[in-house]
Structure 1
Amino acid sequence: MERCNARNLILSAAREPRHHRVQEGLVVEALTHRYKHPDPSGTRVLARWPVAAQVQRHAWDMFPDKLVDLGGRPLTVAAIDYLPYSVMEFSGQQGVDDGTEFRLLRELARKLNCTWRKELDPDNLWGEVEEDGTGNGIAGLVSEDRAEIGFSAMYLWHSVYRFVDFTYPHAVTGVTCLVPRPRLLPAWRVPVLPLSGQSWAGVVASLAVTAVALHGVAKATDECLGIATPGRFNTFTDCALRTVGLLVLQIPREDFRNFPIRHLTLWLGFMYLLISSSYNAGLSSVLTLPRYAPPVDTVPDLARSGTLWVANHEAWVTSIVDAEDPDLQTVAGNFRVFNDSILEQKSDESQVAFSIERLYGGNFAVGDYIRPAAVGRYRLMGQDLYRTYCTTVVRKGSPYARRWNRLVLAVLGAGLWRHWEGEVARRFMSHQVQLAVATSARRASEGPRRLRPEHVGGALLFLALGLALSSLCLLLELLYHCVPPLLARGSKSPPRSAIHIKSSHISHLGGSRKNRR
């Protein structure tokens, strides 16, 4: 249920209306409050007429516009320091009160002849509103009637609209992220980088099909045509090894009398020549130009990467919390809130993404917790997480809403908003940071590079793996071929008593022979 501001309702007349007697008789007065400085709670007389006379309502204005001249009445404003919308403190100077939305407020104050005072809750930033209408931050101050107008990049949040009103939006903004730059791929992956994962899968599949085809053709020609290839293609293992040899352009040099095998190996050699040439070309490119991990450029990329994105308030994720898109749901689940000191530390680690705002005039609202020296280690996403309207919050039924809406239309129609944004950005925002963020997605070409030892690390790793596997296979073959005969020979050896008998018998025979001599 939406909240209603009781102070803006039209109430009935008092039980005992103010009256006094004059010479003509009883006189009735219509009163209203002044609504202006220095006594906004005071009253003023709208009309006075005798009771006996007929009231001529057309002779006086029953509902006058009290905002024509507020006589310097102060408006209570809720805001935070958030460039370029509102700047209250800059370089140690207090009371700056500049920014695009403060300039809107200044124009409104000039038209209504009023001033403003600030009601601040900087610890809670944009704030939140509870079910009973109480809250904190900008939204809570307006909801509790402690402030009449609240701004500083307020978005169209449904949870807040139940307790406050939104004015006409004055800007379209996009929320995106500064993500860590893609890292160089490790050097051990150099041998596998020339081909994509799908290409490698195709190569492995072709090797398997080729080995089966060689074995099948050899069997078929031997059984059906009686043409045998003794010692070659007789087993599937031999066919698999010869297929790998074809992949590395090791064509068999034997003179095949088996014509089907000869033609098959010829066309297979031609196919693997093309594959090897493609691999060599890709390897030359990898060794010449650096290869990086895929960049995070879209919302699906951010969801698949599992990268955490952080900010200093939950308002950054409120607009997509209830999104039905699976990628946005994943991204919303990866959002974390930290205070400014922790965020400043994380900006140097390059492990998380930071939410920033892409402004209407092409600038970027970058939090102060992102150090200027750390911006170069991040990259701007090409796609926004979401786009929304930037508006102002006022109390329910606020009389200022209509005047503010007229002012917004006039400012947008004159193109002042873009002009104000440019002025505020040039005066208060770092040009170096803005340029670094705008050009972060474009990396200058590094050109060719010299080969270094780590470039052949992957090949050496594969060589070590091959030597280890071959040594293991040799050991297994030795165990397979040598251990069983030894065990069989040990099981067939004569008993110990028989050995003694034979030895004594041999010695006896030797003694008898000597005697004979």
Structure 2
Amino acid sequence: MTVGIMTERIAIYQSSHPVTMIPYTAVIIWLKMMFQVIFMLSSLSIILGQHIFNMPQTLKDLLGDFLQHLHEDFFPGCTIVIFYEPSNIYDFGGDQDKAHLRNNTDKGLIFNNYHDSNEGLLEFVLQYFEGIPSIIFSLTDDLHEVLTQTDINVITRCPLYLTLVPNIMAALGLFLMTNKDWDKYFLSRKQVIFTESSTKDIESFFQEGEINLMTNVLLIQPILQPLALRLLTNSPYSTSRNDRVKSLRTWRGQPMPTMHDLFPDKLVDLHGYPMKVVTFHFPPRIFMEEESDGSYNLYGVDIEVVRSLSSALNFTVSFTRPSDGEMWGWEQGNGTWTGLMGDLQHRRADIGVADLYIMEPYFAIIDMSVEYDIEYLCFVNPVAGPLPQWMALGLPFLVETWVAIFCTVLAGMLVFTLLAQLGFVGGNLREAPWFQSGGNTCLLLVACVMNTAWTRVPATTHLRVFLALWSLAFIILAVAYKGTLVSYLTVTLEQPPLDTHRQLLEKDVSVGSIGDTLKRIMEKNADQYVRKLAQRYEQVQSTSEGLQKTVAGSYSFLESRGFLDYTIAVDYTDQRGRASLHAMKEYIAPFGIGLAYPKYVPIVAKFDRMIRRLTEAGLAGKYMSDIILRRKQAKIGSTPLDGEGSRELASDVTETTTGVTPLSLDNLQGGFILLAIGYGLGLLSLAVEVVFALV
């Protein structure tokens, strides 16, 4: 084909320069044969591996048409980000720019106003992207520094990455960059790689680091005989080293394949890829029960979420504890984290799960999924305990009720005494002289208040009417008081717990949790009392340490309400159902709970879609209900404790069976206290009377 084209050009050249043909016929024939031999050798050298960037114009056109159709059909309006190897495309001759930007109006390259005058594949490709914003990076040693100084998300729109390398290993440094803050979606972006490398070299390329995690890679290999483009792609999360590259199709200029054909969804099936999940025992979210053989029986809401994703996307999971024995971990002075966060930060695990709150401070080191549940962060405090039983005497009525009764009794004494005295002044001699004493009349009214028999009966009608209504009123009050008093004597009344941040602030105790991440959350809280409590923050090493300090009364531990409610019910509640800790009703903030991943992994979006389906189906709530039922069944099936525990349990069963709880001295301490006060006042009065009698 090449020979025919060149022969035609020679013919055109001859027709435009007429000469005498007869004397030179043999020479012309000889020259034509020489040209044919030269071009046949040239074509053979291309077939044997001549550099593609010197390829015939027709193959360049085929590549240009493909890239142009690719952009126009699937990426209209998107920015083209091109990476190229300058030593194989341009001979800059000295210092050259590492990054260039084209726009719709200026064909020049903005950063250094560099204008290329050489012909090459890059310039040829750019002709097909005329008028389209393009960013050009050269694959040099300082590319990492250049990229970290470039904010792709600001200067691009839905970028399409195009890499032009004759040897794909020349782009290895680009794809192995662990710090992808310049574009955190790099591994999941649409990637088009044009290379001459063999399929074996491409397979070796995808065995390096995390390169095979990329989910949208399209490779283009040139085919010279006949002219065509071979389209290939990778198989991310493949467990076989020989199955990481597969052929899509061969393109010879026919209509473009669909987007799904070029960039298929490769995360529908992960082919049993082993995922390492880091977690730890944290009920009720996660239970790790050690078996007799040393293995762990894992279950819980968070564990079931991971297993559901594993079943839906066909990957295997292996659960492991944090490598350093910590729980979530905390940030150290050098910017690294310990515990679960540290394992994800250093990519020692693929997924992290342990009642993880979706919080801004975590995003500096990890990525997180959408929430599959919501939890509330609150403080736990010791239960104040029951009120002293002597206070039961005053509990049946509110304070204002007691004030009203006291004022009523005083007013009644004054009115009754006044009526009695007015009767004697009016000459009513039928009334007994006993009623002339104000002390006697007051004692009579007190007897009526106590529902005791009248010691004296007045003779006059107006005093009888007064006493009748007085007695009726206090019969009602006395019945109400007695009925309520019985309940307060038999059922212990607990002191009101701390339920607000203001009350906790007034208590003047230290607060805190594991690490100092929650401290930063408290410092930014809208509640002024929470911000003041953050000044008292003291971190602890574990939940058990925080709870022990809380029970001691010198600390208030901060954790999720679900964990606190479960822990209180299981570990801090006695046989009679009395809890020693109380989770506050007022909470700092609601937090979504999600999965954690190492930074920049491309599976996040796919997992998010599956998690949304899971939550919409209500599976997270079902998992929690199943866990609660399982724990209840385990508690019912457990045997009673020996020794003191069994005796307490037997006592509780006896009381429940008989339905009678005898009153103890503690229940009746109020009556005995009043009796002691009466004895004391009587003796004091006696002493006063004796002193005045002697005087």
Instruction: Confirm or deny a common fold (TM above 0.5).
Output: yes
TM-score range, shorter chain: 0.5 to 0.7
Farther-moved stretch of structure 1 (453-462 vs 306-315): 306-315
Are 1:465 and 2:677 matched, yes or no?
A: yes
C-alpha separation in 1, matches of 2:416 and 2:396: 28
Aligned residue identity for 2:352: G
Report if aligned partners of 2:522, 2:531 keep a CA contact under 8 Å in 1.
yes
Aligned to 1:160: 362
1:338 to 1:419, Cα distance in 2 relative to 1, 3 A? same
C-alpha separation in 2, matches of 1:39 and 1:117: 25
Tell me the alpha carbon deviations over residues 145-197 of structure 1, each in whole angstroms, 9 at most, x when there is no partner.
66553221112334435654432211244678999889776555565565555
1:207 to 1:317, Cα distance in 2 relative to 1, 3 A? farther
Q: Please, which of 90, 109, 122 is the counterpart of residue 290 of structure 2?
A: 90
C-alpha separation in 1, matches of 2:319 and 2:480: 71
1:349 to 1:246, Cα distance in 2 relative to 1, 3 A? same
Are 1:411 and 2:614 matched, yes or no?
A: yes
Q: Please, which of 567, 571, 578 is the counterpart of residue 370 of structure 1?
A: 571
Report if aligned partners of 1:177, 1:380 keep a CA contact under 8 Å in 2.
no
C-alpha separation in 2, matches of 1:317 and 1:466: 56
Q: Please, which of 210, 217, 220 is the counterpart of residue 47 of structure 1?
A: 220
C-alpha separation in 2, matches of 1:81 and 1:67: 30
**How much identity, in percent, do the aligned residues show?**
18
Q: What is the SS of the residue equivalent to 1:152?
A: coil
1:328-347 paired onto structure 2 within 5 Å? 339=542
Aligned to 2:191: none
Report if aligned partners of 2:380, 2:550 keep a CA contact under 8 Å in 1.
no
Report if aligned partners of 1:46, 1:60 keep a CA contact under 8 Å in 2.
no
Offset of 1:406 from its aligned partner?
1.6
Offset of 1:448 from its aligned partner?
3.3
Tell me the alpha carbon deviations over residues 240-270 of structure 1, each in whole angstroms, 9 at most, x when there is no partner.
544423322353525455x654543332233
1:447 to 1:297, Cα distance in 2 relative to 1, 3 A? farther
Aligned residue identity for 1:471: L
Aligned to 1:393: 596
Aligned residue identity for 1:29: V
Q: What is the SS of the residue equivalent to 1:206?
A: helix
Offset of 1:202 from its aligned partner?
3.3
Which fold has the larger relative contact order, with Cα–Cα distance below 8 Å and residues 6 or more apart in sequence?
A: 1
Q: What is the SS of the residue equivalent to 1:464?
A: helix
C-alpha separation in 2, matches of 1:469 and 1:60: 101
Tell me the alpha carbon deviations over residues 402-429 of structure 1, each in whole angstroms, 9 at most, x when there is no partner.
01112213333555545555666677x5
Farther-moved stretch of structure 1 (318-327 vs 301-310): 301-310
C-alpha separation in 2, matches of 1:334 and 1:192: 39
Aligned to 2:281: 81
1:212 to 1:393, Cα distance in 2 relative to 1, 3 A? farther
Report if aligned partners of 1:179, 1:381 keep a CA contact under 8 Å in 2.
yes
Q: What is the SS of the residue equivalent to 2:352?
A: strand
1:74-473 paired onto structure 2 within 5 Å? 75=275, 77-83=277-283, 85-87=285-287, 90-91=290-291, 93-94=294-295, 99-106=300-307, 108=309, 111=313, 120=322, 123-129=325-331, 134-139=336-341, 141-142=343-344, 147-161=349-363, 164-173=366-375, 188=390, 191-192=393-394, 195=397, 197-215=399-417, 217=419, 232=435, 240-248=442-450, 249=452, 251=454, 253=456, 255-257=458-460, 260-283=462-485, 290-294=490-494, 299=499, 313=514, 322=525, 324=527, 339=542, 358=562, 365-366=566-567, 370=571, 376-378=577-579, 388-395=591-598, 397-414=600-617, 416-418=619-621, 420-421=623-624, 429=631, 431-433=633-635, 447-450=659-662, 457-473=669-685
C-alpha separation in 1, matches of 2:663 and 2:273: 74
Report if aligned partners of 2:280, 2:321 keep a CA contact under 8 Å in 1.
no
Report if aligned partners of 1:169, 1:391 keep a CA contact under 8 Å in 2.
yes
1:221 to 1:394, Cα distance in 2 relative to 1, 3 A? farther
Report if aligned partners of 2:501, 2:529 keep a CA contact under 8 Å in 1.
no
C-alpha separation in 1, matches of 2:301 and 2:632: 17
Q: What is the SS of the residue equivalent to 2:682?
A: helix
Report if aligned partners of 2:384, 2:497 keep a CA contact under 8 Å in 1.
no
Aligned residue identity for 2:688: L
C-alpha separation in 2, matches of 1:175 and 1:446: 42
C-alpha separation in 2, matches of 1:70 and 1:187: 66
- Unmatched 5+ residue regions in structure 2? 1-79, 91-119, 123-163, 177-186, 188-204, 230-250, 639-654
Farther-moved stretch of structure 1 (382-391 vs 341-350): 341-350
Report if aligned partners of 2:274, 2:315 keep a CA contact under 8 Å in 1.
no
- The TM-score normalised by the length of structure 1 is 0.61
Aligned to 2:165: 29
Q: What is the SS of the residue equivalent to 2:680?
A: helix
1:291 to 1:369, Cα distance in 2 relative to 1, 3 A? closer
Q: What is the SS of the residue equivalent to 2:83?
A: coil
Report if aligned partners of 1:175, 1:358 keep a CA contact under 8 Å in 2.
no
Tell me the alpha carbon deviations over residues 266-292 of structure 1, each in whole angstroms, 9 at most, x when there is no partner.
3223322332333344455566xx212
C-alpha separation in 2, matches of 1:336 and 1:198: 45
Offset of 1:469 from its aligned partner?
0.8
Q: What is the SS of the residue equivalent to 2:280?
A: coil
Report if aligned partners of 1:69, 1:112 keep a CA contact under 8 Å in 2.
yes
Q: What is the SS of the residue equivalent to 2:596?
A: strand
Q: What is the SS of the residue equivalent to 1:448?
A: coil
1:108 to 1:14, Cα distance in 2 relative to 1, 3 A? farther
Aligned residue identity for 1:472: L
* Aligned residues: CA RMSD: 6.0
Tell me the alpha carbon deviations over residues 289-336 of structure 1, each in whole angstroms, 9 at most, x when there is no partner.
x21214869946996997999997479977878363979999998999
Q: What is the SS of the residue equivalent to 1:389?
A: strand
1:83 to 1:469, Cα distance in 2 relative to 1, 3 A? closer
Farther-moved stretch of structure 1 (267-276 vs 131-140): 131-140
Farther-moved stretch of structure 1 (382-391 vs 348-357): 348-357
Q: What is the SS of the residue equivalent to 1:394?
A: strand
Report if aligned partners of 1:300, 1:327 keep a CA contact under 8 Å in 2.
no
Report if aligned partners of 1:72, 1:115 keep a CA contact under 8 Å in 2.
no
> How many residue pairs were aligned?
453
- Unmatched 5+ residue regions in structure 1? 1-9, 437-442, 484-517
Offset of 1:233 from its aligned partner?
6.1
